[in-house]
Structure 1
């Protein structure tokens, strides 16, 4: 049985990401059941663990549109989140036989589940594309990142349901290639949304049910909605207060970027009055 956790704090992206890591760690310690989580952010950019935000983010546009920036604990590229973007995360124990020792296998299983789910809604020409994308035709609608740690396997991703693609283009920088860079750069893909593909309004609950059914088909597990446990809450509070709410984590170890000081100032403006103690939030 896999627990379904429908838990989100859209106005607090730092807490949302602290919860992602807390759930993974709790599963690794065998304190909570293996989990599928659904959640959203309102107007945020989430960059990969090894990325330089100054290379990925148009901070001036983020100020104009009040888009916050945060770093996740997994690798991969930068993504834009709004309330039309549904995030999903599958956290399993390390010894799960379906994935084994290869993260790519996790991408494949979750990607196939998304593919099956979207097909059931009537989305045509949808397919998983290795390593970690789901496309409709040649346009990307979902991407994933993940981590295999000593005690857990964690794969998460997002689906563009009805996101503002124009704003996405404004706040994310178009990648360029520089062989001297030591950071992970995002790969450019033309994107689309589920609503564009289906040419109708799409409820998020439709997408959630479709993903669960896709995972049931791919994994063969039962899914049951349950609540977060006290251990996870405590862990998430600590991660939020000590890591995700800190400027040092969000901007990362990038010391060579000529824009670092400028972006620090802008980042502080973006987070002004937005950082709270976790106890105030949940």
Structure 2
């Protein structure tokens, strides 16, 4: 096995791009091990509806990254108290064999005095509390199995970031399962830092011997940056890839009661219908047509309505109030 040092990068877009680069473009016979720690982020499962998994106002206000990953499963929260691991291997015979990849991590935790165990298909628990979730992804020739390790994560912040607003959303997307969780730090017999945890796991995985590394050069990092830009920096991947869903919101405003029904597919508003007892000079159908095709995103909705006099449609309406109603 070869270890890849990510040079202390904490940008989730770059770390996910590095993992994808090692999967797709590094044809190495030996398994590869990658550790990384991210800035506060919500990492969305491949098949999830992003809007359904987060509070967009909260994550935007607090600078929390929202990035979709390649693997399936539920949304997870990353912060400087969360250590992520990834095993990248040739072939895909071990796809769905989570025991093979969680085993070395569990052994390392037990050596530290933490009685970890694999439960269900892909989670690591300690005394009935979840400390790690795992997921996998495969290409025709290679695969990775990656997971989180809650070491000293801000649990309260995690719950705020991945607790969606109470919207009437219907979707075929996969829903995240909320579990009772624990931080490894509180379970250790003695204190350590997240870097100590990483070092201890490396010692365990490599049997206290030297850690063979796979060095990356300037060209490798340029390719990683290109993957980050082409995929993980893109709204179309992080939000637009969400499954088709419907949003229904209503409010009693100075203009009257307003009820909106929005159908979103591919991140774009396919159809919007606005009902209510408001009264304006213009037919509301004109505003509905104007919003069709606009990305379902606060900034893009704001830009699309920037020059529109909403009073013509509602009698009394300001842009911020209307955006709050839509999003």
Length-normalised TM-score, structure 2: 0.69
Residue by residue over 1:153-198, the C-alpha shift from the partner in whole angstroms, topping out at 9 and shown as x without a partner, is 201111011110010111112799x9x7421221221100011112
- Whole-angstrom distance in 1 between the partners of 2:36 and 2:70: 16
Aligned counterpart, 1:69: 66
CA shift, 1:215, in A, is 3.6
- Alignment counterpart, residue 31 of structure 2, candidates 18, 30, 34: 34
Aligned counterpart, 1:101: 93
User: What is the DSSP-based 3-state SS (H/G/I as helix, E as strand, rest coil) of the residue aligned with 1:50?
Assistant: coil
- Alignment counterpart, residue 256 of structure 1, candidates 238, 242, 245: 245
- Whole-angstrom distance in 2 between the partners of 1:74 and 1:232: 22
- Whole-angstrom distance in 2 between the partners of 1:263 and 1:187: 25
User: What is the DSSP-based 3-state SS (H/G/I as helix, E as strand, rest coil) of the residue aligned with 2:173?
Assistant: coil
Residue by residue over 1:220-260, the C-alpha shift from the partner in whole angstroms, topping out at 9 and shown as x without a partner, is x9741342245532331221121111110010333424276
Unaligned runs of 5+ in 1: 95-99, 270-282
Name the stretch that deviates more: 190-199 or 80-89: 190-199
Normalized per residue, the structure richer in strand is 2
The 3 A distance-change label for structure 1 pair 267 and 90 is farther
- Whole-angstrom distance in 1 between the partners of 2:176 and 2:117: 21
The ranges of structure 1 where at least 4 consecutive aligned residues each deviate by more than 4 angstroms after the TM superposition are 259-263, 266-269
Query: Residue 47 of structure 1 contacts residue 71 of structure 1 at CA under 8 Å; is this kept in 2?
Result: yes
User: What is the DSSP-based 3-state SS (H/G/I as helix, E as strand, rest coil) of the residue aligned with 1:21?
Assistant: helix
- Does 1:5 pair with 2:5? yes
- Does 1:17 pair with 2:16? yes
CA shift, 1:42, in A, is 1.0
- Whole-angstrom distance in 2 between the partners of 1:116 and 1:266: 47
Structure-to-structure mapping, 1:94-243, within 5 angstroms: 94=91, 101-105=93-97, 107-124=98-115, 126-173=116-163, 181-198=171-188, 200-216=190-206, 223-230=211-218, 232-243=220-231
Normalized per residue, the structure richer in helix is 1
CA shift, 1:213, in A, is 4.4
The 3 A distance-change label for structure 1 pair 23 and 213 is same
CA shift, 1:9, in A, is 2.1
- Whole-angstrom distance in 2 between the partners of 1:256 and 1:164: 31
- Whole-angstrom distance in 2 between the partners of 1:104 and 1:213: 26
CA shift, 1:148, in A, is 2.2
Unaligned runs of 5+ in 2: 248-261, 270-294, 303-327
- Whole-angstrom distance in 1 between the partners of 2:300 and 2:156: 22
Length-normalised TM-score, structure 1: 0.79
- Whole-angstrom distance in 2 between the partners of 1:267 and 1:168: 26
